[in-house]
Structure 1
């Protein structure tokens, strides 16, 4: 007799985990029942690749992307995208870095010059940021420039003598007063002054200079008148000691500039023999400097080259004068 068998229940099918929305909205995370899966990319063993072929030099020089060069080479040879990635990784690991090219400056037109920002002018060391503006203007416009006017030369000689009692900034601030008292330094007029005229040169109750300096200016004016008759002008006499060509020393630092030179000593001796007063070698060399007979601007000063250009211009004009005279005589 057959034995009745008990029906077996159907095996339960595990329900699929229901996706649960995360706090960010659309990110899906598995239910707590599903085990967490590790990232396959982290557990995957790192693949060591062999060094690939060298990149063409044009790619480095032209700053072309490495991936672009590799992809173009692999595509032309029928390679796959995996080969492109492999070459790029290998190249970066070997150290072939593209050179960084400098940015090209904006091109200017052929007739347009590029303007560069100009910094502060470089002057002689004795001009500082705290110097009097009058003194700075005197340095930038007059000191060291060749002077050939008799009245101006007489004025500069007086100022060089006054340096024993006053400074350059003080003298320059009183310049108009000096010119008023000395008739704009016309030697023919100053030579006619008397004792009363000299003692009347006062500023705020005190003499413009000491009596000794005022008397020296009077005597020097008389001698200049004599020199004008002998040499034609006081200019010809002063410039004859340097053969009518100024001296350009070209010192690098102000401390190298001397207070007197053999040329100044020769000129000083000749002037004292003629009857000039208060014209020692130091005074005469200061006069030669300010009158441009000697260019003692330091090399880095912008006036060193400007005074040199003015000297060359004077020489050209002097060379042209004889030619004009010859043409007129013919």
Structure 2
């Protein structure tokens, strides 16, 4: 018998693999939290499958999302990224990735880690949404609004409430797997 999954992932084997393996799994590693933020930021205006199909190129182009390395990128590296095939070469998104890495360095100093900062918004708890129908999933909520506002105050860019909501789903702060999906119970 086939496993029941969230409907959004059924368009390709790659999307199913992402859904079954990564989406909604709580992340606590600073580098991976940064990577997912940059990937979700790059999704703005595009489909997730577009980003997912470029994920290996993103990791390569951005030095495996090493926060210190990305924070130190200068104009030369920024221009190199704008010429790199296989990633989203939007000038503003590239500049925002570098800027956000620099902001995260400040957050790490203040909180001890980016992980401590992210999870402080829910006191380390996963929010379990009871989604019976995927149409119930919002594009933002009070948590994504608050985190977005705080990140912007810290100088971050491309961190609006909708991007942050998708980010919180991806990193497992919010469990938005539908109740009928086999991953919902696994991630509770």
Q: Which of the pair has the greater relative contact order for Cα pairs under 8 Å at 6+ separation?
A: 2
Three-state SS of the structure 1 residue aligned to 2:110 is: helix
Matched, 1:163 2:82: no
- 1:32-43 to 2 correspondences below 5 Å: none
Which residue of the partner structure matches residue 126 of structure 1?
8
What CA distance in whole angstroms lies between the structure 1 residues aligned with 2:19 and 2:62? 24
Which residue in the other structure is 1:77 paired with?
A: none
* TM-score, length-scaled by structure 1: 0.55
TM-score when scaled to structure 2? 0.95
Aligned residue in 1 for 2:174: 294
Greater Cα radius of gyration, structure 1 or 2: 1
Partner of residue 141, structure 2: 261
Counterpart contact for 2:57–2:87, Cα < 8 Å: no
Task: Tell me the CA shift for residue 133 of structure 1.
Answer: 1.0
Query: What secondary structure is seen at the aligned counterpart in 2 of 1:126?
Result: helix
Where does 1:132-281 land on structure 2 (aligned, <5 Å)?
132-201=12-81, 202-204=83-85, 208-281=88-161
Count of residue pairs brought into register by the alignment: 187
Unpaired stretches in structure 1, ≥5 consecutive residues: 1-118, 309-330
Q: Deviations over 1:88-113 (max 9, x none)?
A: xxxxxxxxxxxxxxxxxxxxxxxxxx
Q: Secondary structure at the match of 1:242?
A: coil
1:94 corresponds in structure 2 to: none
Q: Which runs of 4+ in 1 moved over 3 A?
A: none
RMSD: 1.3
- How is 1:47-126 mapped onto 2 (pairs within 5 angstroms)? 119-126=1-8
The answer to whether the 8 Å contact 1:260/1:281 transfers is yes
Q: Is the 8 A contact 2:42 2:88 kept in 1?
A: no
